[in-house]
Structure 1
């Protein structure tokens, strides 16, 4: 962490409160608390996916949280009180920290409710629901998922956009990714490590200064590029920028609201770096559709079958269905964290588009100054002006030079006003 030297009295107060917030959230590990162990998986696959996994309220009770939930909620309550006491009701940095305290308390309530209906309801409050609209009268996330599926099916029928074979082992992917990240992070290259790991569900996962690659997964060059952009240029970069904050140390840690911004930024980066591709988009679309199915009453077996019908193996279909029901029960409401990708993408894209339209370009790189949340962006601008927050040190090239992004958004702003149905009718003779 940075030293406290050179901070004035006000900055020291903010720093002390921020450090308390970071310290308090340390033992809260949402994904660890909701995951199912391997015995559930092997039992399910043994029955060839015909029998619901044996997960209920008692299963979670046998895996207690690594902290005292009541004491932890009280700790956040006390930090929130002290923030108001020391900074006042309307202080911008105080407002951000108070919201984080409330959010962490809600996270603890969600984890206490594992295996009950409340788990799914609180998850929807934190991460949203597939049936939420973006704006009045706009399509929902579920609509977006279905629309994307239609486009992807049209692309699939062509047959010439098949993925390259996955010929890179985890070890080769680690080496390739490490080389690429060393180029990006230059002086921080000692701190960003890429290594193989056994205990992860996804193909890769990012930590504060590392990226883990699943040891038994296979990759192609396109996968490695997506990991470089998604995990490296966004997740690791924003963590490092947060750790680089001398006063607002809380920016290194993200509550659920920042997950939406984080994943949205990561998907946007994949798109503008041309690192995304139809199969990857299908994965995100399927996650949204699977969550919507569970919200509508589908159980684990139905979501498992949905994935099998999409051509996934039983093992893959189990892992995918598991993402939807972890923390809940096989017949309960879904854990909606995986909506963050598409939801965040739309929200971040709209934010950047508006920033360009209103000529507030200086707002855009601030998305990277740590684990930020969209609703805090105006306050963050004030905090940068006050010297409480430092501008991000690590920025993807697309965000450090906003020329191309601004031009793209200007075109995109105009194109959004054209009627696609009209265009389709007019272009019918030439396409």
Structure 2
């Protein structure tokens, strides 16, 4: 058999296995499966925000049943896993990525089957992490990060606010502005849509070919800019890049491990484009604090009160608290996905610094090739050289300019060696 025929057969096998994963995960819609209906909020309001909503495992099975048979779905992924080992071998790089995806989707199904039970949070922590996870031996935790940022932001409060922070634009205004901006960022062939929705918890959410904006709200210019960067440039961009892959079509779909990378990439892009702002950072760190509270035994009412103390009104406090307990119960542990934003940011920033230090800067754009995971980048680099994957089409300019990124990271490597506490003493006279 000629070498070209071997390569062609290999690519065909990878593509077929990839398509099986894409097809198998299609009915698994995690956030939809965790939703609480409008009656839960109505119950909470009628009881003056003091009586815990009546949520248990029976609630999920009756009010929000899964659209697939969990046992059959897990067996389907097990069958794909066996096919990967049989057709690609034990040490195939691309095979290892697809096998991990199969394992994660099985755990996702286990998590969804465990809705309303303690097992739900245990699996969530396995997939997304915990607020007490360390980044290395002796390192501060995510909860330590939240405490530091909260204390720092309290010292600047409204001192940096401008007209760009005033929520004067309607949801429809946001749709119109984003439609125009994203049509300039993406090519005319993509058919990107921005539309109103009243069925999402978040202010904005990206799908495969559209961005949904929560109807009935008011937004500031800064918020609309973060939607453009976070939901558009990153989430939509990586989806389109993944869908454009001719062989590794699995890159268009993201298991939980890629969620950490995706959300972290979106946050770091906000920061690199100077689109983030203190209110945005406070919202992200409040999520860490809220998850940590629930992990330590706080119930729905306790976390609701925490958000009220942060200045949110009752509606926003309810929605923010529901994000923490969705999939669980009002007295159970949290759904820990909201840790992904800050956890992913820290992991990606440190990866970029080390990639520059070790001369691997060309791996950074691979973060945008699809729904990637940090630990797979070395394999994706090999696949790029082999022609199994194609370069990402949509990369924010801050990441496509490797010279500029390298300069930033080189200085960052040195600054990290300075003792901030010692500098604070030396700068005391200047900072009075």
Asked if the contact 1:204–1:211 (Cα under 8 Å) also holds between the matched residues in 2, the reply is: yes
Q: Which residue of 2 aligns with 1:70?
A: 71
Q: Which residue of 1 aligns with 2:360?
A: 360
Structure 1: distance between partners of 2:236 and 2:163: 30
Once the two structures are TM-superposed, the CA of residue 162 in structure 1 deviates from its matched residue by 8.3
Stretch of structure 1 that moved more, 80-89 or 207-216:
207-216
Q: Which residue of 1 aligns with 2:285?
A: 285
Say whether residues 1:179 and 2:214 are aligned partners.
no
Say whether residues 1:57 and 2:57 are aligned partners.
yes
Once the two structures are TM-superposed, the CA of residue 409 in structure 1 deviates from its matched residue by 0.8
Q: Which residue of 2 aligns with 1:329?
A: 329
What's the TM-score once normalised by structure 1's chain length? Answer: 0.97
Gaps of 5+ in 1: 1-6
Asked if the contact 2:41–2:318 (Cα under 8 Å) also holds between the matched residues in 1, the reply is: yes
Change (3 A) 1:175 1:352: same
Q: Which residue of 2 aligns with 1:110?
A: 111
Asked if the contact 2:262–2:372 (Cα under 8 Å) also holds between the matched residues in 1, the reply is: yes
Asked if the contact 1:155–1:161 (Cα under 8 Å) also holds between the matched residues in 2, the reply is: no
Q: Which residue of 2 aligns with 1:3?
A: none
Once the two structures are TM-superposed, the CA of residue 187 in structure 1 deviates from its matched residue by 3.3
Asked if the contact 2:111–2:123 (Cα under 8 Å) also holds between the matched residues in 1, the reply is: yes
Change (3 A) 1:157 1:172: closer
Q: Which residue of 1 aligns with 2:21?
A: 21
Say whether residues 1:309 and 2:306 are aligned partners.
no
How does 1:113-132 map onto structure 2 within 5 Å? 113-132=114-133
Say whether residues 1:276 and 2:279 are aligned partners.
no
Asked if the contact 1:56–1:115 (Cα under 8 Å) also holds between the matched residues in 2, the reply is: yes
Structure 2: distance between partners of 1:256 and 1:72: 17
Change (3 A) 1:157 1:211: closer
Asked if the contact 1:245–1:390 (Cα under 8 Å) also holds between the matched residues in 2, the reply is: yes
Q: Which residue of 2 aligns with 1:390?
A: 390
Q: Which residue of 2 aligns with 1:136?
A: 137
Structure 1: distance between partners of 2:348 and 2:59: 38
Structure 2: distance between partners of 1:59 and 1:90: 44
Structure 1: distance between partners of 2:366 and 2:150: 33
Gaps of 5+ in 2: 1-6
Structure 2: distance between partners of 1:162 and 1:47: 38
Q: Which residue of 2 aligns with 1:91?
A: 92
Structure 2: distance between partners of 1:163 and 1:172: 15
Once the two structures are TM-superposed, the CA of residue 412 in structure 1 deviates from its matched residue by 0.8
Say whether residues 1:220 and 2:216 are aligned partners.
no
| Secondary structure of the structure 2 residue equivalent to 1:208 | coil
Asked if the contact 2:164–2:221 (Cα under 8 Å) also holds between the matched residues in 1, the reply is: no
Once the two structures are TM-superposed, the CA of residue 366 in structure 1 deviates from its matched residue by 0.3
Structure 1: distance between partners of 2:164 and 2:35: 30
Stretches (4+) displaced over 6 A = none
**Equivalent residues, number:** 425
What's the TM-score once normalised by structure 2's chain length? Answer: 0.97
